[in-house]
Each structure stands twice: as structure tokens, then as C-alpha cells.
Structure 1
Amino acid sequence: KFERMKKLKESGSIDEQSFEDIQSAFLVAQSAYQFTLENTEIRSPIDGTVTLVAQKEGENFNSMFTPVLIRIVNTEKMTANIQISDKDVALVKEGQKVEVRVKSEPDEIFMGKIYFISPEADQFGGTFHCKLSVQNRKNILKHNQFADFRIILKTKQNALTVPQKAIIDKKFVLVAENGTAKKKMIKIGIENEFKAEIISGLQENEKVLVEGIVGLKDGNKIEITE
């Protein structure tokens, strides 16, 4: 209609004032149309993969019954939720690194970093909710997948370590010396479930007994087999 009126104005069939009124009404209608159009488009704030479409085009939508219309997951960096016991929460800090493993890929280790620690404990379990971001290389990790987590509390370069199973009563190890087992009192530094740092009581070149130490005592004769 506006284009037709524009041609009429050019041919002199309508006066300038009438055309300006029509043009003004056209611009208002165009602006209202654009506003309505923008409010009918739903744009994702992130790039990702669509994992859920709750309704199809043309269906009526009610947010009370369908709170999630479309779910989009960014799989390049995942968010993981973990629970920390009240005994360990004092050791955990934002920014600490976390090793993540999933059963589907047991040999793969994914590195994450803690970015949120709840200031209050869960009222039922007494644990503290933590969130971490995890780099999802090769897109192996999946949405809602269970995983095992190991928080790296401390790291130290060139530390003297021994296997945990070689340490007896958290106090000493047995070393091989001239064909006998010799008891060495030690002091432990940082540790995990597999290894422990030895701060004092042991030298780097000493041979620590790891296997067959049950019942073995200081001074017992031993035979080292390769």
C-alpha cells in the first residue's frame, strides 16, 4: 500500500501532507512489526549442541507446564558438580585443579578447575556443593554423566616419594641393607592414595621394601629377587 501511495504522490495524485501522514503511519507499523518479530525469535546466548526440543513449531507454549523449551549444551567446556565432606572442605580452594575420569574412558584424564564452593552445608547430607569447569577434549564427556574426581591439593617438583603400601603405621618403612631389613623412621609430607612424600628419614638411593613386608621386622634376613 505504501509503495502505491508513493507512486501516486510522484504523479501528483495526492498532496504532500497526505503522503507524509501515510508515510508516518507506515514507519510506525514497520517499527511495531520489527519489535514483534524480535520478540518471537529465541536466540541462544551460547554456541553448542541441541539436546532437547520440548515442543514443535505451531504448538501452544505454556511455561508453567514446559519450563524448558529447548536445551543447548556447550560441550567444549563442561560444568561438573561435586560434593565435599565437611572434613575436607577446609582444604579445598577456588582455582584448585581437579583430575576427572569417566568409566567409559578409564585411561583418559580430564583437567578441571574449581570455581565455586558453597558457603553452607547441605541440610541433609552435611556436604558442601562445589562446581568446577572441565575441558572436554574430543567431546568425550557427556551431559549428566557420572565421573570420579581427584582434587589436587598440593604439588611439589622433585619430591622423594614411596608407595603408600610400603609405609607401616604412617611412621616407618623397611629398607634393604646388607641382606637384612632395616627399620627407618620417616616423616611424611604431602600424599595421595598411591604415594607419599618423604620429608625426612630416607635417602634417595636407599632400597625401600614394598612387597612381602607383612610380618617382616627390623633385622630379619631378606633376599631381594628381581
Structure 2
Amino acid sequence: MTKTKHITKLTGTLMLAALLFTGCSSSEQEQQVVEQAISVKAVVVSTSDREIVSTYTGSLEGEHQAVLYSKLAEAVDSVWVREGDQVVADQVLLSLDRTGPSSSYRETESRYANAEKTYRKMERLFKEGAVSESDYDAAKTIFEVSQANFEAVSQLVEIRTPISGTVTSITVSPGDFVTIGKKLVTVATLNRVRVRFGVNSNEVQHIDVGDDIKISSEATDLPGYGRIETVASSADPLSRAFEAEALIDNTERLFSPGMFVRIHYVRNRLSSVVAIPRRSIVTIDRHETVFIVENGRAARRPVTLGADLSGDVVIESGINPGDTLVTLGQDYLDDGTLLTVTIISEQ
């Protein structure tokens, strides 16, 4: 019996030891799972000089530009120029049908010719003393009225440019019938182009005449540079925006009238600020938060945000130059998470 009790006691002891060993192994396995490191990318925080840039949109036109419209409902007879041609002031660009019913060109031309013929005859007779001064004056008046009418009708059928420049747009072809108010031709000077854009009331106080701007367009990879020429003193009643106007150097002919552009205006310059990618910020308990690396683990830091820098944001407080900031993988972290860190060179 004594031997049996001893064996039973030994067996119990071994079973207890086995359970304790199993419990320890399970605990160690759980500990290993919790301590599995999460891979993140990070940058070393530094200070830099940054710019706060406001971006607007607008379309370009020539510094001097003339858009010519039809004042008759008539057919197009001839187009004398092509887009890209250089033209001089008062040059005829296209002609409308002189024989059409709307132009009255032929009728007015005939009246003018007859009035001129009568006037020249009366002028000769008056010099010879064959007609009275009143008859001569009447013939002269009729001639001058007919001449003015003919010149007016000529201007309606002969579309002339009021400025010298480049033909940038032709919207009609010979044979097209145009209505009153139809856009026909645009002529512009292209050494400089003009852009107008609206500025809201919160930003208009930052913009001054003479300030530099930059423009960009999907039509060219190169930017353009210019200066603010005017800023409206009152807002447009419909858009509630203040119109600003700038002239852009275009000697390289990078830009054309009608082109859609973005206007970039530096409204403030910041010196030696901490700016980080906005994507590195997470919201925890309604607080803007980042994670930095401390002794191989994640450390949660609430931050105070400053100016928005179009993708980056200025940090007023919460992190310091020299901190290692997690910029990729922060969504999976908690305070104290073990990390595997890859340092990247740029934020």
C-alpha cells in the first residue's frame, strides 16, 4: 500500500508539472504574437522654409485682343486670312456677301456713285457760275451722306481688324450663313497674355498690384510668370469675388488665348517651420495625432496643426526637429507597438 501511494503521488506530481509547463508554453506563444513587430516607414523631422500658395483658375487672352462679330445676317463670301497669320490694323480679314438682301451694299453703292457724279457736275457748274450756291450745297450734302452710308455698309460686309497682331481664331468658312452677333475672327497680340481670375474676400487683402504670380497649364510642361496689374476694389455682385488681372510674359509662345490655366500666388512665406505630410496624421479620440519612434516602439503624440501647404501641414506643437516620424503604417499602430523601421529621405 505504501508503494502504491508513493506511485500515485509521483504520478500526480508529474501531471501537475506537465500542466504548468503547458501553461508556460502557451503564455510564451501569446507573448510572441503580441510582440510581433510592425513594419513602418519614417522620416527624421526637420525645419524648412515654406510657402503658402493660393491657387485660382482662369483663361488667357492676348494683352491686346479684338473679337470681331457679324453685324449682318448674311453669307460669308471670302476668308482672306488663316489662323496664325500676322495682320495689321484696318486689314480686311473676311467679306460677307455684297449681293445678299441684308447687306444693301449694291443699292447703297449705286446711290453713292450717282451722288458723287451729281456733286462733281454741280461743283464744276458752280465754279462756272451756272448754278446757285444753294444748289451746289444741296448736291454736296447728298454726296457726303451717301458717302457715309456707303462706308458704313462697307464696314458691315468687310470685316477689318482694329489692331495689329496674330489671328488666333476663325470660326467661319466661305459659304457659311452667319447671324447678327456671330463671332467671326479673333486677333490678339501674343508677346504677353492676360489672365483674369476671381479672388474671395478672405484672400483679397493679401494680393497687391505688382506681386509676382506663376501660371501652369496642361497644354505645356513649362510655367509662365507675370505680375498682378489690377485688383478690383469691389466684388462682383454675382460671384462675390474680386477680379484680379495679371500680365504674363509669353515671348516663347508657350501660351495661347483661350487656354485654361491655374494661377499660383504666394500669399505668405514661412521660415524654419516643421511641416509634415498630412497623410502621416491620424485622428484618435477626435485629436490629431502622429506616431514617432522611441527605442524601437511607437509613441503617440497629439499635435497642433498650422497652415495647410497643399499636401503638407505645418505643426505648431507636438513634435520637434530630430524626432523620427512614422509616415507609412501609422494606421495600424498603438502606443508602445514594436516597430521595424525603414528611414526614408523625404517627407
**What TM-score comes out, normalization by structure 2 length?**
0.42
| Structure 2 residue 279 is matched with structure 1 residue 165 | yes
Instruction: Give the aligned CA root-mean-square deviation in angstroms.
Output: 3.7
Normalized per residue, the structure richer in helix is: 2
Structure 1 residue 224: Cα displacement: 1.9
Match of residue 9 from structure 1: none
Does the residue aligned with 1:203 lie in a helix, a strand or coil?
coil
Please list the CA deviations of residues 119-148 of structure 1 after superposition, one character each: whole Å capped at 9, or x if unmatched: 222222222211122233622011121011
Equivalent in the alignment of 1:222 = 339
Please state how far the C-alpha of 1:58 moved relative to its aligned partner: 11
> Paired residue for 1:124, among 230, 238, 250?
238
Q: Provide the residue aligned with 1:139 in structure 2.
A: 253
2:93–2:160: 8 Å Cα contact kept in structure 1? Answer: no
Task: Pick from 115, 122, 127 the counterpart of residue 229 of structure 2.
Answer: 115
Q: How many residues align?
A: 178
Aligned-partner residue type, residue 342 of structure 2:
T
Out of 310, 314, 334, the residue aligned to residue 197 of structure 1 is 314
Assess if the C-alpha contact under 8 Å between 1:99 and 1:110 holds in 2: yes
Pick from 78, 82, 89: which aligns with 2:197? Answer: 82
CA contact (8 A) 1:50 1:70 kept: no
Query: What does residue range 94-109 of structure 1 map to in structure 2 within 5 Å?
Result: 94-105=209-220, 107-109=221-223
Rg comparison, structure with higher value:
2
SS of residue paired to 1:214: helix
Deviation of the 1:149 alpha carbon: 2.1
Q: 1:174 to 1:94 in 2, by over 3 A?
A: farther
- Of all paired residues, the percent bearing the same amino acid is 16
Gap runs ≥5 in structure 1: 1-44
The 2-side partners of 1:182 and 1:61 are apart by: 79
By relative contact order (CA 8 Å, sep 6+), the higher-ranking structure is: 2
Distance 1:70 1:151, change over 3 A: same
Q: Return the TM-score normalized by structure 1.
A: 0.61
| 1:61 matches 2:155 | yes
Q: Secondary structure at 2:267's aligned position in 1?
A: coil
Cα deviations by residue, 1:72-101 (Å, 9 ceiling, x for unpaired): 344333221111233433443434433311
Secondary structure in 1 matching 2:322: coil
